[in-house]
Chain A
Amino acid sequence: MSRVQIMTGNQAAAIGAVLSGVQVVAAYPITPQSQLAEIMSQNVESGKLHAEYVRVESEHSAMTVCISASTVGARVFTATSANGLLYMHEQLHWAAGSRLPIVMCCVNRGVGAPWTIFNDQQDSLAQRDTGWIQIYCRNNQEILDSVIQAYRIAETVYVPVMVCYDGFVLSHTMMPVEVPEADKVRAFLPPYVPHTVLSPENPKNLNPVLFPWKREDTEGVLCDGYMEMRCKLQTALDRSREVIAETSRSFADVFGRDHGGVLWEYRTDDAEIMLVGMGSLASEATMAADLLRSEGIRAGVVGIRAFRPFPKEDIRRALQKAKGILIFEKSISYGFEGGLCSEIKAVMYATGKRAPIYNFIAGLGGRDVKSGELAEAAKSSLAELEAGKPERPTEWVNCG
């Protein structure tokens, strides 16, 4: 029997969570929550998943329940979107600071005000500095597989992982997805071993007040201060680059699908023009690259799969030969430019010589993005590049 089924991105994420054997799910139906939380509750209700489903009164509480459950040794899952994610913000820092391997799906949507329920990536990009790993998926198969991978990554480095996928474009679109066998997933994903279990036999005061200085405890251990703890989190994120890559490789060995580690490339071997993006926008860019190539322009695509940890070495390697770099993104850092663009500029700065970088903001609040528009944007940048003109300021595609 074929293991391929037709399903939405939300269904794919839910199957990933069920196969990962999550034990606690906490979610709140904030506007705009996704169908994912609903599917998870059906799975628990029907007995398909042996887990505790906690209905909370807010997204802030949803993350708090995840933190508590993870602290006592459960594998936990939650899902959110847009303003719900923003409401969780404080607890996101808490989860990462407590080094809990929580996995959360973020169905990417625009942030209010004004209200929108449609897709862009402003919500998760705004969580950049919470200490979470962020993985962006480009199709429904990758969503399912990434949820499983996310648990292995999170539980190896003790850092929570956000699996991000575009609202509607992926969350509500049906695609064929191969469902992995449960026993293979169990072998790929060993049981969660917490770094510390809070239990009556081993009482602990977790996350006490830390001081600017180190202090000695009653057993003569020189306990880290606040700054050392921050540094440990940064070290873990730095280490996670290799863990993400390794997880991706071993996933490919078992299941035959490699979605790329921290980034993926498309037709970049001889490419002069590089289109860069995340999630479904990068997927759209592959079609733009095909269009450009049909017109004799050697274009390739670099898809950023992990936005945190930022794949600095891989980006340098992938973009070093480019004559022009075009960054397409579905979010904006108000008062400056697209956040991804700034980061890529920062990474390329260290190479000494870098190609001109063009920044395009596209598809905010669900505005349609067509591969033809991306190709047109690439061509106009290329014309300016060849005319030796300086880089243009950030452009808004198909706006106004």
Chain B
Amino acid sequence: MKKKDTNVAAMCGPQIGEGGKTGDWRSLRPVISHERCIPFQKKKSACFLCWLYCPEGVVKAGLPIEINLEYCKGCGICAEECPPKAILMVREDKS
């Protein structure tokens, strides 16, 4: 038996996934070409504009960078901000 929701009003805590898996309403998916990505090329922490601008906080600023597609909503802001255009937005049904 699942625990019942005893909250008087609607609320959730600040944990990853509290709002449910929000990635499934995405129609465009960000696809990274690591060979064009600045930190990947230079082998050092640099740029990370995608990490900075992502409104969902789902970009991990590592080498290479990673996007958590379970929660990425496909807004395309990362692709828009990426200086070398290393991120391409691809239609989910064309993958």
Whether B14 pairs with A232 at a CB distance below 8 angstroms is no
On whether the beta carbons of A229 and B9 are closer than 8 Å, the reply is yes
Which of B15-23, B33-41, B52-60, B72-80 lies at the binding interface?
A: B15-23
A351 interface hit (Cβ, 8 Å)? no
Tally of A-B Cβ pairs under 8 angstroms: 77
Taking CB atoms and an 8 Å cut-off, the chain B residues in 28-54 that contact chain A are: none
Contact of B13 among A158, A195, A203, A229 (CB under 8 A): A203
- B5 interface contact, C-beta 8 A: yes
In the complex, A205 Cα to B9 Cα: how many Å?
A: 11
Contact between B9 and A196, CB atoms less than 8 A apart:
yes
Residues in A neighbouring B95, C-beta threshold 8 A: none
Q: Closest Cβ of chain B: how far from A346's Cβ, in Å?
A: 29
Whether B94 sits at the interface, judged by CB under 8 Å, is no
Q: How far is the CA of A257 from the CA of B4 in the complex (A)?
A: 42
Q: How far is the CA of A209 from the CA of B20 in the complex (A)?
A: 10
A208 within 8 A of B: yes
- State which of B4, B9, B16 has its C-beta within 8 Å of the C-beta of A195: B9
B2–A196 CB distance below 8 A: no
Closest B residue by C-beta to A205: B12
Decide: B8 and A195 in contact? CB cutoff 8 A. Answer: yes
Known: A221-B3, A222-B4. A97 touches B16 (CB 8 A): no
Q: Are B20 and A218 in contact, with the CB atoms below 8 A?
A: no
Contacts of B11 in A (CB 8 A): 196, 204-208
Among A203, A204, A211, A217, max chain B CB count under 10 A is at A217
Partner of B4, one of A210, A219, A221: A221
CA distance A217 to B20 in the complex (A): 7
Cβ contact within 8 Å between A204 and B8: no
Return the contact of A218 from the options B7, B8, B9, B17 (Cβ within 8 A). Answer: B17
Known: A218-B16, A220-B3. A210 touches B10 (CB 8 A): yes
Q: State A69–B2 Cα separation when bound (angstroms).
A: 34
Determine the chain B residues whose CB is within 8 A of the CB of A216 once the complex forms: 2
Least Cβ distance of B1 to chain A in Å? Answer: 9
**What is the distance, in angstroms, from A377's C-beta to the closest C-beta of chain B?**
45
Nearest CB of B to A270, in Å: 45
Q: What residues of chain A lie closer than 8 Å to B2, measured between beta carbons?
A: 216, 220-222
Q: Is the CB of B4 within 8 A of A215?
A: no
Complex Cα distance A158/B5, Å? 17
Kindly state the separation between the CA atoms of A97 and B10 in the bound complex, as whole angstroms: 8
Max count, chain B CB within 10 A of own CB: residue among A209, A214, A221 = A221
A residues near B13, Cβ cutoff 8 Å: 203-205, 217-219
Could you tell me if B9 and A223 are in contact, using CB atoms closer than 8 angstroms?
no
Cα–Cα distance between A317 and B9 once the two chains are bound (Å): 34
Q: Determine which residue in B10, B13, B18 has the highest number of CB atoms from chain A within 10 A of its CB, and name it.
A: B10
Say which residue of A99, A203, A217, A222 sits within 8 Å of B8 (CB atoms).
A99
Given contacts A221-B5, A222-B5, A224-B5, contact A207 B16 (CB under 8 A): no
Cα distance, A381 to B20, chains bound together (Å): 61
In the assembled complex, the Cα of A215 lies from the Cα of B17 at a distance in Å of 11
Check if B10 sits within 8 Å of A206, measured CB to CB: yes
* A280 contacts chain B at the CB level, 8 A cutoff: no
CB B88 to nearest CB in A, in angstroms, measures 29
Minimum distance in angstroms from B65 CB to a CB of chain A: 25
Query: What distance in Å separates the Cβ of A161 from its nearest Cβ neighbour in chain B?
Result: 16
Assuming A203-B13, A205-B13, what are 11 further A-B pairs, CB within 8 angstroms?
A195-B9, A196-B9, A205-B11, A207-B9, A207-B10, A209-B19, A218-B18, A220-B2, A223-B5, A228-B5, A232-B8
Could you jot down 27 A-B contacts, CB within 8 Å? A97-B9, A99-B8, A99-B9, A195-B7, A195-B8, A196-B7, A196-B8, A196-B9, A196-B11, A203-B13, A203-B14, A204-B12, A205-B11, A206-B10, A208-B10, A215-B20, A217-B17, A217-B18, A218-B15, A218-B16, A219-B13, A220-B2, A221-B5, A222-B2, A223-B10, A223-B12, A224-B10
Residues of A with Cβ closer than 8 Å to B?
Answer: 97-99, 158, 195-196, 203-211, 214-224, 228-229, 232
